[in-house]
Structures are given as structure tokens and as C-alpha cells.
Structure 1
Amino acid sequence: MISRTLLIPSLLFSVLSFAQDKKNEKPKFNQELAASLGADQYGMKPYTIVMLTTGTAKIEDKTKMGTLMKGHMENIGKLAHEGKIVVAGPFLEKNKENYRGMFIFNTKSKEEAEQWVKTDPAVQAGIFSYEIFPWYGSAALPLYLKHHDEISKENP
């Protein structure tokens, strides 16, 4: 009876230890995936960040502003669908730089990123201006987009 009492906790401990070891194991390197994402030897690649700032336009007409912001969101969706934007979103708090939101574009070319940001109706209307920065991040960053639709019930 005592041996059974000790056997069950010992087996449970062994299973949990094995599971923890597996959890801490580094995944096997996937050359095909790394190459398809343009990863370097560190699993990283260059991107371009566009920081949207407060523009010079002052649009009081709520209907016009609503139309421009709807176009802004549709443009983000279009660029994401085309694989050009890998991250986009607003900042939740005001800041001294007047940053309103950001895009991470899947390009190392500042010129190409500028062409893409200029397709935004809110940028065209002067609601947003922008600053462009080169950035180096995980080549796997674009992979999260394929799961975003699975976790969002609504699109703004």
C-alpha cells in the first residue's frame, strides 16, 4: 500500500518534469521558414517604422472626419493583406512627440515605406503627418497577422 502511495506522486513528478524540459527545449531550426521570411542568421531582418504624428489639418466636419478615418482603416487592411504592413496601431496615451500611431512596414526602403504611407487618406488630408525610421526585428513578425482575424470579433 505504501509503495502505491509513493508510486503515483513519483510518476506525476516525472511526467511534469519531462513536460517542463520539453517546454524549455529550443525549437529545431527551420531553414525553409527562415529563408521564406528573409531571416538572417539571427532570425532577424530590417523593416521600416512609420510613426504617425498629429498633422496640420483641422477638420471640424465629423462626417468628413469619419469618412477619412474609415478610409485610413481600410487602407491599413489593404496594405496588411498585401503583406506591406506587419504591425499597425494607435498609441493609447498622449505623448510629447505627438505620436498618434505607428506602422511597421515589411521593407527596408524608406522611400518605399513613404510611398505606402502616402496611400493613406488621413495622411493625404493632413490629419496625420509622419516620421520614418529604419528598424531591425524578428523576421517572424509578419506571421502574427494570419492569426489576427481568428481572434478579432470586429474590425474598427
Structure 2
Amino acid sequence: MNLKIYLVLALFIMTSLYAQEKKTEKPRFNPELAASLGADEYGMKAYTIVMLKTGSTKIDDKEKLSQLMEGHLANIGKLSEEGKIILAGPFLEQNKQTFRGMFIFNTKSKEEAEKWVKTDPAVQAGVFGYEIFPWYGSAALPLYLKHHEEITKENP
């Protein structure tokens, strides 16, 4: 009886160790995925970050501001669906740089990013200004978007 318990326990420990080893194995390089994402040899690529900041126009009319923000969010959705925006979101705290939010655009061209950010109604109205920066990050970053809808109960 004790021998059976020890055998079952040994089998359990060996299975646990094997599972642990499998978890820590490095995923294999996938050249097709890397190429489809535009990855370099480090799995990285160039993007452009646009930092939205408080603009020069202050709008006191709450209905007008609400319409601009609805347009702002709709524009983000459109650019995201087109594969131009990889990441977008507001900052949760005020900061001395007056940054309000940021976009990561799927382009290394500052000119192209500026063209895309200028399609934002809140930018056009001057509610938001912006600064543009080149950025180097994981080429896999766009993959998170396909899973975002799976975890979102409602959209703003």
C-alpha cells in the first residue's frame, strides 16, 4: 500500500516537473509571423508615438465638446480598424507636460503619423495639440488588438 502511494506521488512530482519545464521553454522562432509583422532580427520595428496634449482652444459648450470627443473616439476606432493605430489611450493623471493621451501609429514616418492625427476632430478644433516621436518596440504589439474585443464588455 505504501509503495503505491510513493509511486503515485513520484509520478505526480515527475509530471509536475515536466509541466514546469514545458512552461519555461522558449517559443520557437516563427519566420513567417516575424515577416508578416515587419520584425527585424530582434523582433522589433519602428513606430511613431503621438503625444496628445492640451490644445490652445478651450471649449466651454459641453454639448460641442461632447460631440468633439465622440468624433475623437470614432476616429480612433476607424484608424484602429484600418491598422494605423496600434495603441491609444488617455493618461489618468495630469502632468506638467500637459499630455492628455497617446497614440502609437503603425508607421515609422512622422509625416504619415501627422496626416493621421490631423483626421481627429478634437485636434482639428484645437482641443488637442500633439508632439510626434519615433519609437522602437516589439513588432508583435499589433497582435494585442485582436484580443482586446474579447475582453471588452462595452465601448466608450
User: Residue 122 of structure 1: SS of its match in structure 2?
Assistant: helix
Name 1:47's counterpart in structure 2.
47
Residue identity in the other structure for 1:131: E
1:127 paired residue number = 127
Q: Could you tell me which runs of 5 or more consecutive residues in structure 2 were left unpaired when the two chains were aligned.
A: none
CA RMSD of aligned residues (A): 0.6
Aligned counterpart, 1:24: 24
Amino acid at match of 2:52: L
Distance 2:96 2:20 in 1: 45
Distance in structure 1 (CA, Å) of the matches to 2:3 and 2:93: 61
Q: Distance in 2 between matches of 1:52 and 1:65?
A: 16
SS at match of 1:36: helix
Task: Return the letter of the residue paired with 1:86.
Answer: I
Calculate the TM-score normalised by the size of structure 1.
0.98
| TM-score, length of structure 2 as denominator length | 0.98
Aligned residue for 2:142, secondary structure, equals: helix
Q: CA deviation at 1:11?
A: 1.1
Partner of 2:87: 87
Distance 2:16 2:126 in 1: 57
The runs of at least 4 consecutive aligned structure 1 residues that moved more than 3 Å come to none
Deviation (angstroms), 1:122: 0.4
> 2:3 matched to 1:3?
yes
Matches of 2:2 and 2:87 in 1, distance apart? 58
Q: Which string of whole-angstrom CA distances, capped at 9 and with x for unpartnered residues, describes residues 57-112 of structure 1?
A: 11001100000000000000000000000000000111111110000000000000
Q: Residue 105 of structure 1 aligns with which residue?
A: 105
**What is the SS of the residue equivalent to 2:133?**
strand
Show the counterpart of 1:147: 147
SS of 1:17's equivalent?
helix
- Percent sequence identity is 71
1:116-136 Cα deviation digits (max 9, x unpaired): 000000000111000000000
Q: Which residue of 1 aligns with 2:60?
A: 60
Cα distance, 1:6 vs. partner?
A: 1.0
The answer to whether the aligner puts 1:72 opposite 2:72 as a matched pair is yes
Residue type of the alignment partner of 1:19: A
Aligned equivalents of 2:149, 2:113: Cα separation in 1: 24
* Matched AA of 1:91: F
Offset of residue 16 of structure 1? 1.1
